[in-house]
Structure 1
Amino acid sequence: MKKVFASMAVVAAAALPAAPAHANTLAAGGRSAVYGGGPFYSGGQSVMNTLRASGFTTVVLWAIHVHADTGDLYLNDQLVVSNGQYVGNADWPAQLRTLKQAPTSVNRIEVSVGSAGPDDWGAIASLISQGGTGTSSILYRNFQALRSATGADAINDDDEQHYDLNSTTSFARMVISQGYTFTLVPYTNMGFWRSVKSNLGASVDRVYLQDYAGGTGNDPGAWASSLGMPVDPGLWSKHGSGCATGDSPTDVGNKMRAWKASAGIPGGFMWLYDDIQACAGQYPASAYAAAINNATGGGSTPPPVPAGQNVALNRPATGSASCNSAESPAKAVNGSLSGGTTDKWCSLAATKTLTVDLGSSRSLNGFVVRHAGAGGESATWDTRDYDIQVSTDNATWKTVVQARANTADVAVHNAATSGRYVRLNVITAEQGGNSAARIYEFEAYAS
């Protein structure tokens, strides 16, 4: 992968704050990985919380570089392990541990070794030649210390120039003995990667196929056939001046769905969080994760709806100005998702609210909001941030649900409350910004 040296000012972490509020499911049905460089080390707890709330299921720390003479390990340009000891930012290991703390979508951390720049796999081969891979070797001790510090589940092999089968196999068997699994990150040289997979067998549990830059045009089906296992293809997010280059979340979703149909891909990945962070105002991390999760998992499986019946069904509904006359507030309470893309309430108003009169005060158990993806539209149009409020008089309102960084097509909110009027207050209408609100159903449940 392309080598980027990032500025690494160390940021001390405060006590762990809660991740943003979510619906009951964070990640949808598929699996999704994101590579990140400098921000994953220097961004502090705020970046960890963004990742926990993003919907990405795997975080890949990119990239570890190996000093050929000493075996020292650098994360980009920061020394993190030397002589069998972690010597990096003292706060970083604790910050990484929060990635898997609920509520979170992250269930796996990988450490990527190599890039298109320094010849790290050549350095590994040299160190193996000098000192082997036994428990007293510098490679063994340093990668053991790296695992203790990062909690990494896998070593992510991003060899783009050395391609030596014997040293790669020896190194992989060493880290597997330490508790890592091993993942491959090819973009070319299919025969080499096929041999690595053959040597290591089931210890290779994922293959991340680069489908951008030098890997543009790679066929996941052909690689899967050659390696004997399905692959997770990757794309490059929007980046560059004006965020004009690369793939949008919509592009990612479309490509992943096509690969799911043609090659049965189980997941996908995004390169690179550094760029996603720079373009987050238009294309947030959660939109990319949702695009991959929905495409590779066939959409999210929502939790059970709250107890009781939907008392908002076919009740009088009012709302801010509709996008057009066919997308009125009544469409959000008609109990239907099958009427096409106009079977929803849509609004482009500056302030977007949808209010339902239940007819009398009801004791409520919770709410369900069916967003754009539930009606067959792009998951990037799912409502990102919103509140649900109740009132007895349609004048004074109480907020009972605060949903932030939502990526679910169907969001279920259990909330014991009461009121005659229920209101959906849309704060950020889409994953990429505050544009059109698209609500296919707004449901309120009472026993």
Structure 2
Amino acid sequence: MCSHMSISTMLFGLFLLASTFTSVDAFTVKSIFLFKDVIQSNTTALKTSGFNTLLIFRIGVLTNGDLVYYSTGSAGEAVDAPVVTNGSYVGGAALADKIKSFKSGTTDIERVEISLVSHDTTFQNIRSLINADGVGSDTILYKGFDALKAAWGLDAFNNDDESVYDVSSTVSFGVMLGDIGYKYSIAPYTNSGFWSNVKSQIDATVPELFDTVYLQVYDGGASNDPGTWQDTLGMPVVPIVWVTNDAKPSQGTTVAQARTKFSDWSSQYQVAGGGYWNDYDIEKLGSSYESYGGALTDIFP
């Protein structure tokens, strides 16, 4: 009788443990950054290759608070396309429908994010606008990102600040985005102390808003150790590698190399998933979304 009860109890415990793993795995991040106008991307491949998170690169904030989508024309030329003017969406139905389609029909995509990065004056402009007007629902920043979220069906905002690093405006901006309904993520390659400070302050104000860290482990962040960042930030991170590319071939990662790296990070650090920086490289070089996505789904079921 006692032996039978012990076995039953053990089996029940294993059942609970398996259920826990299933719940965690369901939210394991399998991500890819999308550079270049998403209208030109292979939507079907992106939706069916195992990725569950897309990060659209990138939106810029102008001095007056208007938003532009920095994309690429069919001839490869840079295109600064207005998407929000005076707090209203002006980006057109085709672009909005394309982005919303990522999560409709047959798809693996559960989360679509929009990324901002310091390749221009975006974060200086955000800081100036917040210092002047705050982040209330009547401000141009609030209206602009509210309009963009509604038009594109966005789930999250990705902060890729690589130069300004202003704690006060970063926290205020993040809290504002949470009020609109975005989740908040970052894509750091350095300055872990800054990001830890930002996370602590956002967590204290809006718990669970700051939920994902896409850690750059290539180029300027090539020496980053996911375990060290996890210790600093107090949360699992999602290491990001750069796919095979012709811009900086030495920083490229083949599918086989990606499998090895993600497998090692998963076993060593129990990271929150994995992902890729993709400067339109996969389509440009004729690589395979399915193969790169498969590396993630095999290691992070």
Task: Tell me, yes or no, whether TM beats 0.5.
Answer: yes
SS in 2 for 1:100: coil
Find the partner of 2:181 among 179, 188, 204.
179
Aligned runs of 1:107-256 on 2, under 5 Å?
A: 107-115=110-118, 117-201=119-203, 202-240=208-246, 246-256=252-262
Which deviations, in whole Å up to 9, do the C-alpha atoms of 1:62-110 show, x marking residues without a partner?
Answer: 1111102x11111112111111111113211112222112311111000
Which deviations, in whole Å up to 9, do the C-alpha atoms of 1:267-318 show, x marking residues without a partner?
Answer: 11111151111122xx2111111112222x2xx4xxxxxxxxxxxxxxxxxx
CA contact (8 A) 2:219 2:251 kept: no
Report the RMSD for the aligned CA atoms in angstroms. Answer: 2.0
Change (3 A) 1:284 1:28: farther
Aligned runs of 1:13-412 on 2, under 5 Å?
A: 30-40=28-38, 42-43=39-40, 47-68=42-63, 70-76=64-70, 77-115=80-118, 117-201=119-203, 202-240=208-246, 246-280=252-286, 283-295=287-299, 297=300, 300=301
CA contact (8 A) 2:49 2:293 kept: yes
Change (3 A) 1:121 1:179: same
SS in 2 for 1:205: strand
Change (3 A) 1:286 1:72: same
What letter matches 1:86 in structure 2?
Y
TM-score, normalised with respect to structure 2? 0.83
Rounded Cα–Cα distance in structure 1 between residues aligned with 2:121 and 2:248: 32
What letter matches 2:96 in structure 1?
P
Rounded Cα–Cα distance in structure 2 between residues aligned with 1:242 and 1:132: 40
Change (3 A) 1:286 1:67: same
Higher helix share: 2
Rounded Cα–Cα distance in structure 2 between residues aligned with 1:28 and 1:246: 28
Q: Which residue of 1 aligns with 2:4?
A: none
Rounded Cα–Cα distance in structure 1 between residues aligned with 2:248 and 2:269: 33
SS in 2 for 1:91: helix
SS in 1 for 2:158: strand
What letter matches 2:151 in structure 1?
A
Rounded Cα–Cα distance in structure 2 between residues aligned with 1:63 and 1:167: 20
Q: Which residue of 1 aligns with 2:20?
A: none
SS in 2 for 1:171: helix
Which deviations, in whole Å up to 9, do the C-alpha atoms of 1:362-404 show, x marking residues without a partner?
Answer: xxxxxxxxxxxxxxxxxxxxxxxxxxxxxxxxxxxxxxxxxxx
- Structure 1 residue 28: deviation in Å? 9.4
Gaps of 5+ in 1: 1-26, 301-447
Rounded Cα–Cα distance in structure 2 between residues aligned with 1:166 and 1:190: 16
Taking every aligned residue pair, what percent have the same amino acid on both sides? 36
Higher strand share: 1
Rounded Cα–Cα distance in structure 1 between residues aligned with 2:276 and 2:26: 16
- Structure 1 residue 37: deviation in Å? 2.0
Q: Which residue of 2 aligns with 1:320?
A: none
How many residue pairs match? The answer is 264
Q: Which residue of 1 aligns with 2:12?
A: none
What letter matches 1:215 in structure 2?
G
Rounded Cα–Cα distance in structure 2 between residues aligned with 1:139 and 1:39: 23
SS in 2 for 1:175: helix
Change (3 A) 1:168 1:118: same
CA contact (8 A) 1:267 1:293 kept: no
Which deviations, in whole Å up to 9, do the C-alpha atoms of 1:384-443 show, x marking residues without a partner?
Answer: xxxxxxxxxxxxxxxxxxxxxxxxxxxxxxxxxxxxxxxxxxxxxxxxxxxxxxxxxxxx
Change (3 A) 1:292 1:274: same
Change (3 A) 1:191 1:244: closer
What letter matches 1:71 in structure 2?
G
SS in 1 for 2:165: coil
CA contact (8 A) 1:64 1:113 kept: yes
